[in-house]
Chain A
């Protein structure tokens, strides 16, 4: 590592690119439907004329900003701007509803910066050794990792675990709709041409999260968010104090996010959920996760931003993208003639290290810009009358969904899924397991089919699925994540019984 690369990252041009990237990423990521992947993909063509290191700095900054930007709509509209912000809705929206949306946005910013810094530090120090762990993951491990993600969200989402798991299965099934990737069979379309293109994940995410909120908003005359009578100062200090008080949670969640980011395909959504689960598991007495607990936001936001640095480890060292935006960045690097792989750290190391320092700079820049944009985003959303907010968000869902694949079918699917999602949510089937099933479906199917083929060829199907040590460890974690809510509820019941007994 040569510190002259730090000087390269600190040039005026690179600083300006990092600033532009963070702002553009934050704004795009905050719009429901425009994911971090889309933010990076839309702006990639701008970077083709740049030097590789500068292009990487800008794309990394866009990615970092977009992951943080996803928290705005998650907190203020209960609609995660990006899949990584799914778990941010659990406590962010309840905080916004009780009038603490500005505080939630500030906390999300501090957590995102902390996570981003720890992820970038891991990229700087641990890239080569940690990438070896990811190499040990085969198709079965990816299958179990997907099921682990689903079990986590089923046990975390509102409603009961059974409904969560059923919703997850429905999501996995929805991911099969359309033309099969492996054999080109047309599956589950039942003759409908609208369904042939499959269900686009981001469109489905917009529908399942955004449309139910709009349906609820129009039904009653109540305001969408609680507005405080007195005008308060910016709650930077209060947010910083809360974040400092939960520094252990921040560091732990950032480490979780970094490790999960290294596993190809897992990404910010799984990282956020695992970190949230861990924060909930170790909650102090009196902390009410799911009802507006700041620690929940900090866990999710630090973890999902840590996946940025973590995800770059397999991307740069192995050429395997850690997350979907990494895949776009990898493509941009290939266009520029940069070959990723272990040699990149030796021969062309200056590009990598200049980029890593650029990522640090972009993350630091996110603190002032994020707080400032967050403050205005909160004030704007909170003061807009519901009469204009609902049609504006509705319009954004249509244009955002259309823009993904230029398809009207995707918009129709988005609205239909949203209406179905509203009915399901009214009867305890939360949207999050369905969405995660849809996201993890292709990864799980690939793992399942490959393991099935290998298992059949070797005549050891059971051993293939249940005989590998890493698989067994993930299965154990899956069972634990499903049993934990049961144990917790029994413990709570016993406590209530004991308290009732002592009162008598």
Chain B
């Protein structure tokens, strides 16, 4: 690629997008406050929403004038990141139906696969599965019985 943009002239698109979204959140807040019945619950979110909009606009101007092209998502496997977050979210969604341990086993297995870079064989799979079962059972017993947390 010969037409690569020099680092200094590149814009920090990520910051611009985030700051714009924050402006939108501020505006949404101002819209939301119009539906409150009591003025006591309106004043503070309104004040903070204006502060957020002002701050975000300043970030946009600053970022436009002095972009930092070094900011970004960096290197690394996206599928691993997504698998980690997705397995945890799925665990939460199935928890009311399956119970705590089976649901968190999904999160544990997803995170295990996401974190393992060295490849798998039968022995390592068994060792990690067993370690996982011991850790989950240990914490379950601690929270469920010693701390009396009503885990589903």
User: A-side interface residues toward B, CB under 8 Å?
Assistant: 42, 160, 162-163, 165-166, 169-170, 172-173, 176, 180, 182-183, 185, 187-188, 190, 211, 214-221, 386-392, 394-396, 398-399, 402-403, 406, 408, 411-412, 415-416, 418-419, 423-424, 426-429, 444-445, 448-449, 452-453
Contacts and interface: CB of A to CB of B under 8 A. Distances in A.
Interface in B28-52: 28-29, 32-33, 36-38, 40-41, 43-45, 47-49, 51-52
Nearest to A445: B44
B55 A187 contact: no
B135 A402 contact: no
A221 B114 CA distance: 10
B36 A183 contact: yes
Interface string B35-75: 01110110111011101100110110010000010011111
Contacts of B100: 399, 402
Given A166-B58, A180-B38, A218-B77, 4 more contacts: A166-B59, A219-B78, A394-B88, A408-B92
Contacts of A163: 15, 59
Q: Is the interface of B mostly helix, strand, loop or mixed?
A: helix
B45 A427 contact: no
Nearest to B91: A398
Given A215-B81, A388-B131, A429-B18, A173 B48 contact: yes
B32 A42 contact: no
Could you say which of B33, B58, B85 has the most chain A C-beta atoms within 10 Å of its C-beta? B85
B44 A176 contact: yes
Given A398-B88, A426-B14, A449 B43 contact: yes
A428 B43 contact: no
Contact of B25 (A173, A220, A445): A173
A403 B38 contact: no
A504 to B, nearest CB: 24
A373 to B, nearest CB: 17
Contact of A399 (B47, B84, B104): B104
A219 B76 contact: yes
Contacts of B104: 395, 398-399
A214 B111 contact: yes
13 contacts: A180-B36, A183-B37, A185-B41, A216-B76, A219-B81, A220-B77, A388-B132, A390-B114, A390-B115, A396-B139, A402-B149, A412-B92, A427-B15
B6 interface: no
Given A166-B19, A182-B41, A387 B128 contact: yes
Nearest to B23: A166
Contact of B49 (A173, A219, A406, A415): A173
A411 B90 CA distance: 11
Which 8 pairs between the two chains have the least Cβ-Cβ distance?
A: A219-B76, A183-B38, A166-B55, A391-B111, A221-B117, A180-B41, A390-B115, A169-B52
Q: Which of B18, B38, B131 has the most CB of A within 10 A?
A: B18
Contacts of B22: 166, 170
A405 to B, nearest CB: 10
B48 A169 contact: yes
Contacts of A219: 74-78, 80-81
Contact of B92 (A214, A415, A423, A449): A415
Specify the main secondary structure of chain A where it touches its partner.
helix
B115 A218 contact: yes
Contacts of B143: 399, 403
Given A173-B45, A386-B115, A426-B74, A419 B38 contact: no
Contacts of A424: 18
Contact of B36 (A187, A211, A386, A398): A187
Contact of B71 (A169, A402, A427): A427
A402 B151 contact: yes
A190 B32 contact: yes
Contacts of B88: 394, 398, 415
A162 B58 contact: yes
Nearest to B140: A399
A176 B147 contact: no
A406 B96 CA distance: 12
B89 interface: yes
Nearest to A34: B147
B95 interface: yes
A176 B111 contact: no
B128 to A, nearest CB: 6
B116 interface: yes
A427 B14 contact: yes
A415 B89 contact: yes
Given A403-B143, A448-B47, A188 B84 contact: no
A218 B80 contact: yes
Contacts of B24: none
Given A173-B25, A390-B115, A412 B89 contact: yes
B59 A426 contact: no
Interface in B96-143: 96, 100, 104, 107-109, 111-112, 114-118, 128, 131-132, 135-136, 139-140, 143
A218 B86 CA distance: 13
Contacts of B149: 399, 402-403, 406
A56 to B, nearest CB: 22
Given A188-B32, A395-B104, A444-B44, A428 B81 contact: no
A391 B111 CA distance: 5
